[in-house]
Structure 1
């Protein structure tokens, strides 16, 4: 997404409350508030479609235009409808060029680990301190050819220039383990059930088989009785 796509023309809001917010959303717009750097909070209305598209990018740096004046901001909190694909409200925090901000950046895995291994992404995001104008879209971690037993910690993740880790350097990001076979999985499950005192119930197939055998035996018995009569 280009910088021009992240420029949103906003309007100042003078009406507040649930009723006013519902009216704004009916007009396909989004109520928002912008604050920071000691400035008084500014209540605004954002264009619905353009804002939704812009906020699809994590930590998108937005340029908010109000009455011709431009202000850079980051979405601090985005309230979404639990059912509909609709943004209900946005909190924006003002940032300035060269200023450092703390953000959670998604971790993206690439490559294929060694055969018969399981790759677990333990940290979906890593918290970084970066310049507001140089926030990475994601952090790429390669697992290409890595063997079981390999662990990648936060300190081993390549960061963009000027970025610093906020989380503990020992934070586990990726864990690669040996793939377990179905027999081993069944054995572990049986052992766990035994330790917990759980008795396995017969499977449906086994029960059906027994019912079928019982039915056949009953039928044979009836035939024998008829022959004797």
Structure 2
């Protein structure tokens, strides 16, 4: 970790009471219920400032510090629970980490460019929308970019073809297809062959 690397920090307060009723009271006060796990310690039930958390989420900060009554811990965002409309955070799960240690998590795949094969009538399919990435906690990318500008009909990009940031490693099987372009009607070819076989078998049965 470089010397100029600085984690964002938010304040947290211990929760003395648990339960849905208490959680509603906390949210009305402008705070979000939170739980911190990991590093062989018991889970800690906390609340964090809603605006501070929203800013971190908006800036896509996955790793940050929490200050609990003067005790600072490095944490990574594990899960967010949103309301029905996806506008308010109801609960947050955090994991204790060391920002310079390695973590493994799923990172979304984002396609870039336009496939000439798809433009020519092919069918662009993306079987894999996220990759399991091993990297330093403070270097987690928001997404993995995959260029599709050269994909013609019949072409595919596999896991082994993906470039990831230096120091990162993909755990998915190398032969898995991330994205490919199929010819239009390719899926119909196999049923057509089966029909032909059935007709042949029927003809042979009639002759017997």
Give the TM-score, by structure 1 length.
0.71
Of the two, which has the highest radius of gyration? 1
Gaps of 5+ in 1: 196-229
Hey, which bits of structure 1, 4+ residues long, moved more than 6 A? none
1:194-213, aligned counterparts within 5 Å?
none
- Measured in 1, the distance between the counterparts of 2:152 and 2:167 equals 31
**Quick check: 1:131 aligned with 2:133?**
no
What corresponds to 2:18 in structure 1?
A: 16
Equivalent residue for 2:152, pick from 133, 144, 147: 147
Q: Secondary structure at the match of 1:144?
A: coil
Contact 1:58 1:105 in 2 (8 A): no
What corresponds to 1:220 in structure 2?
A: none
- Measured in 2, the distance between the counterparts of 1:118 and 1:76 equals 35
Contact 2:158 2:177 in 1 (8 A): yes
Deviations 1:97-146 (A, max 9, x none): 32111111011111111132332222111011111111111111101132
- Measured in 2, the distance between the counterparts of 1:100 and 1:18 equals 35
- Measured in 1, the distance between the counterparts of 2:61 and 2:177 equals 23
Contact 1:80 1:86 in 2 (8 A): yes
- Measured in 1, the distance between the counterparts of 2:134 and 2:46 equals 28
The alignment covers a number of residue pairs equal to 184
Contact 1:152 1:172 in 2 (8 A): yes
Give the TM-score, by structure 2 length.
0.78
* Structure with the higher fraction of residues in helix conformation: 1
Contact 1:57 1:137 in 2 (8 A): no
- Report deviation, 1:16: 1.2
- Measured in 1, the distance between the counterparts of 2:85 and 2:25 equals 19
Q: 1:179 to 1:28 in 2, by over 3 A?
A: farther
Contact 1:35 1:93 in 2 (8 A): yes
- Measured in 1, the distance between the counterparts of 2:140 and 2:72 equals 19
**Quick check: 1:93 aligned with 2:98?**
no
- Report deviation, 1:40: 2.3
Gaps of 5+ in 2: 196-208
Contact 1:130 1:163 in 2 (8 A): yes
